[in-house]
Amino acid sequence: MGSRASGLLCLLAVCVSGPSAAQPSSWPQFRGNPRLTGIASADVPATLSLKWTYQAGETIESSASIVDGAVYVGAGNGDLLSIDLASGKLRWKYGTGSQIGESSPAVGDGLVYVGDLAGVVHAVRVRDGARAWTYTTGGEVKSSPVLAGELVLIGSYDTHLYALDAKTGKLRWKLRTDGPVHATAAVQNGTIYLGGCDERFRAIRLTDGRVIYQIPLGAYTGASPAVDGLHAYVGTFNDDVVAVNLRTKRIVWRYRDPDREFPYYSSAALVDGRLIVGGRDKAVHAIDAATGKGAWKFATRARVDSSPAVAGGRVFVGSSDGKFYVLDAQTGRKTWEYEVGDALTASPAIAGGRIVIGAQDGRVYCFG
């Protein structure tokens, strides 16, 4: 079966070393940092209000990044946008020539990187939006780029994980898997961790792409793993969330909601010994990271594919019910909501005291 057909099947079934953490004024990539923990170093105001919106013209599934006072986000029409965080004014626009799906920009060393649905990885200059280089894969790119030292890591529906030279776009290595690479790679201490549409969780050596070990998960994973110390956590399309011990190379627990069993497409945030993750059961779940037991559950009115972000003891997340929610991280109690009116499947970015998220109505929303 061809890679594009395999990718379609996965979707139907669904389906670092580098900066160690985001600085207080930045959220430079999907989930905020290479370990994909979804945690913001900077706080946000206790009382929130809408600061601005920007109409991108097409649906937005890409999650924003924020660096040096600029928001970077991909629009469905293929435009990579740079928007001023303070004012919401467009700084520049770069046309990829295709469409941008869920691939979310990563920013570092004066370049911003993103993939498109034609399978092209783009590197664009931060200062003026001019193209630095492109690299063409053999399938759609919905994975988000991750910067790890001198490398850009990104997956393609052609079944490969790519490591590209961040400055030149030259291929350093590529790893073939047995299915589309939909998820974003996590990086910790020189090792890449990745779940896949081939139902496996892999540990991969950053320097050369060699697989160190792999573990069968028993299900597709559209979500990306959150990694913290000895463990990685990822939701699956077998209606569970899995904890993997990275030292023993074993699954230590599986969480299943006792009331409703639905897939987990959202990637988890990891804070204060808990996972916070959205489910297609229309709820946000908090799970004890040590035991896999449920701590609390907050119900929305539609599936939660948005990946939660956490700052200052609060959880920020969108829902396909058209609302942006703020929850207390300890109790799950709702502290604020904003009615967008269209599905929010992208994930929030938090920096500079503001939260930015794109919606299916084609608008970028900024709260602060």
Q: Which domains does the chain have, with CATH numbers?
A: 3-367 (2.130.10.10)
Whole-number pLDDT of residue 4? 37
138/190 Cα distance (integer angstroms)? 27
* Whether 183 contacts 143, CB under 8 Å: yes
- The two structure tokens encoding residue 1: 């079966």
196/10 Cα distance (integer angstroms)? 10
With a cut of 80, say whether residue 180 has pLDDT above it.
Answer: yes
Whats the size of the chain, residue-wise? 368
Whole-number pLDDT of residue 318? 98
DSSP letters of 77-123? TSEEEEEETTT--EEEEEE-SS---S---EEETTEEEEE-TTSEEEE
Whole-number pLDDT of residue 43? 87
DSSP letters of 231-278? EEEEE-TTS-EEEEETTTTEEEEEE--SS------SPPEEETTEEEEE
* Whether 55 contacts 73, CB under 8 Å: no
Whole-number pLDDT of residue 105? 98
With a cut of 80, say whether residue 224 has pLDDT above it.
Answer: yes
Q: Determine the average pLDDT of the residues in 288-307.
A: 98
Q: Determine the average pLDDT of the residues in 159-174.
A: 98
Q: Would you place residue 25 in the very low, low, confident or very high pLDDT band (cuts 50, 70, 90)? A: confident
Given CA atoms 274, 276, 281, 283 in this order, what sign does their dihedral have? positive
From 17-26, 86-95, 291-300, 340-349, the region with the lowest mean pLDDT: 17-26
With a cut of 70, say whether residue 8 has pLDDT above it.
Answer: no
With a cut of 50, say whether residue 285 has pLDDT above it.
Answer: yes
From 3-7, 137-141, 340-344, 357-361, the region with the lowest mean pLDDT: 3-7
186/31 Cα distance (integer angstroms)? 10
